[in-house]
A and B are shown apart, each in its own frame.
Chain A
């Protein structure tokens, strides 16, 4: 059964800190890995990583994929209170459905 495990479960940092969120996965036929940010209810798409795109960056957020070790990390530099959210990692499984981890709850204190 395809599986995603995220760590830590929750994290509290101060504004300006750098954080690293972890995602490990087991999937029968790896094609891609996705990161989402969830505030309130709607998950917002951040990045998709694939065999041909193992590093992505957008502003203060960046992500890398290690296909050999079966994990991905999401880095956020110079954190702001607006970064407070749940960060979800997911992999497409059989039938194109996404299998999600439980998420990492990030709280950035001012």
Chain B
């Protein structure tokens, strides 16, 4: 079946602009995660959803970052007033359920460049 999809694959924006990144999880997966990966590092957790609600948003770096999952499927990560330090690859993952014994499957990511 289809894997996790993310759009756009690349996004270039100017400092101070607003961006939205979209994630479409594997069908039937109830848990959805967002991570951010900088060059030479492993992915870092941002937020995860169980169904429609954000179960843990402790990884969001500040209040410029926000994510929603209104119908329990597609999720959108929103970044306001972008800064050059926000440049990274934003990865989305989904799992059948939330829990440490459920594998997380990743999408291809969105490479965000803030100029």
Contacts and interface: CB of A to CB of B under 8 A. Distances in A.
Interface of A: 4, 31-32, 34, 36, 40-45, 48, 50, 88, 90, 92-93, 95-103
Nearest to A45: B103
Given A42-B108, A44-B106, A96 B100 contact: yes
Contacts, number: 69
Contacts of B48: 95-97
B25 interface: no
For the residues of A in contact with B, the DSSP-based class is strand
A41 B56 contact: no
A91 to B, nearest CB: 8
Interface string B82-115: 0000000101000000111101111111010000
A95 B56 CA distance: 7
Interface in B19-37: 31, 33, 35
B103 to A, nearest CB: 5
